[in-house]
Homo-oligomer: A and B are copies of this chain.
Amino acid sequence: MALIVHKYGGTSVGSAERIKNVARRVAKWRRAGHQLVVVVSAMSGETNRLIDLAKEVQPSPDPRELDVVASTGEQVTIGLLAMALKNIGLDARSYTGAQVRVLTDSAFTKARILSIDEEHIRADLAAGRVVVVAGFQGEDEQGNITTLGRGGSDTSAVALAAALKADECLIYTDVDGVYTTDPRIVPEARRLRTVTFEEMLEMASLGSKVLQIRSVEFAGKYKVPLRVLSSLTDADQPLAQEAASGTLITFEEDTKMEQAAISGIAFTRDEAKITLTRVPDRPGIAYQILGPIADANVDVDMIIQNTSNDGTTDFSFTVHRSEFARAMDVLNGKVKAHIGAGNVVGDAHICKVSVVGIGMRSHVGIASLMFRTLSEEGINIQMISTSEIKISCIVEDKYMELAVRALHKAFGLEQPVLAH
């Protein structure tokens, strides 16, 4: 008997019929003797509907109140799934984030989980109940409702699995695993049977939408065995077959005997580039620019500073596209005048393309192959950043698909790899 956490996203619970299907799948696991905790998202479309409603009332919705509204999406799903489970004879009980209690900080709309009180859940599991928990949400020390931001249900699931020391956390989704890249762009993309946490972290943060990045961080930190698998298979398929499907995210990289140079190509259009021109080149200037940006709660990704000869520098960085306008406001508002920069130039027509692979550590020539491939396609590289297991390039966004296809081919990712 194992303690298993399941997580079902919005598409998997998108209608009464689909919720009943989820109940059948959960029942299969429960009746095999496992203890089950099920984390669910809002029904597909619901969170957007609620946010649109909020914007109708207040164009920039108050974050505390937006969380009050948005958190209802998951609350509806937990009640419905608990009903569906009871309807097929299982005992079940639902909990909101606040009821669990999932304690978070007070950063409304993008709160972080601080702790989870698993007492109620353990008592219910001991009593033979399936426990259904609302993903995406929690409450802060003052009892305010908080949400974890888009995709936060994955984080809820992994955090619960960590708190409960679950044997495995299964993320059911509308894809059947993690691919070398998005098959909609590269039809030859291959599903990876395993991927390491570090690779997954880079893939997720770079725009492979399979898992939310924080959930992968959590899973890595607490060593939660995590599996991404399809919720579109027959709910009644044999349990053993289902348990071995999808992609397992491992934390033992050396189990991979034959390591490919790279595991995948990630990409994202979710960023925008900002350049301050003719910034005086003096100590502390980066802080004077990025301090106010951080104060406005805007995350900065890549940063580049090019010194020229005239004592000024061009300072460029990228931010999430949804925070682009805010970042521009901050810079135009006080930063530019304060530091005496020339201009603030924003560019939302960019994308980021990255090669990711833990094998990069033991292979040489990855960067040069990447740059050569892009160059051969006539794609100009605007910014470059590297880490131990990835290389990212910012290019004009119209080249994104072309770049991804060319790189996927250049690195031979369509070929099956031993032990993958």
Task: Spell out A's residues near B (CB within 8 Å).
Answer: 16, 19-20, 50, 53-54, 56-59, 61-62, 64-69, 71-72, 75-76, 78-80, 82-84, 86-87, 93-94, 96, 98-99, 143-145
Collect the chain B residues with CB atoms within 8 Å of residue A94's CB.
65, 68
Q: How far is the CB of A327 from chain B (nearest CB, A)?
A: 23
From known contacts A68-B78, A69-B76, infer whether A57 and B143 are also in contact, taking CB-CB under 8 Å.
Answer: no
In the bound complex, CA of A76 to CA of B70 (Å): 8
Number of copies: 2
Q: Which residue of B lies closest to A99 (CB)?
A: B143
Kindly name the residue among A16, A68, A84 whose own CB sees the greatest number of chain B CB atoms within 10 A.
A68
Q: Which residue of B lies closest to A94 (CB)?
A: B68
Collect the chain B residues with CB atoms within 8 Å of residue A57's CB.
16, 19-20, 80, 83-84, 87
Collect the chain B residues with CB atoms within 8 Å of residue A53's CB.
16, 76, 80
Collect the chain B residues with CB atoms within 8 Å of residue A58's CB.
83-84, 86-87
A-B contacts, 10 listed (Cβ < 8 Å): A58-B87, A59-B87, A61-B83, A64-B93, A65-B79, A65-B83, A65-B86, A68-B78, A68-B82, A69-B79
From known contacts A72-B72, A98-B98, A99-B143, infer whether A66 and B54 are also in contact, taking CB-CB under 8 Å.
Answer: no
In the bound complex, CA of A99 to CA of B94 (Å): 18
In the bound complex, CA of A64 to CA of B76 (Å): 12
Q: Identify which of B62, B82, B145 contacts A62 (C-beta below 8 A).
A: B82
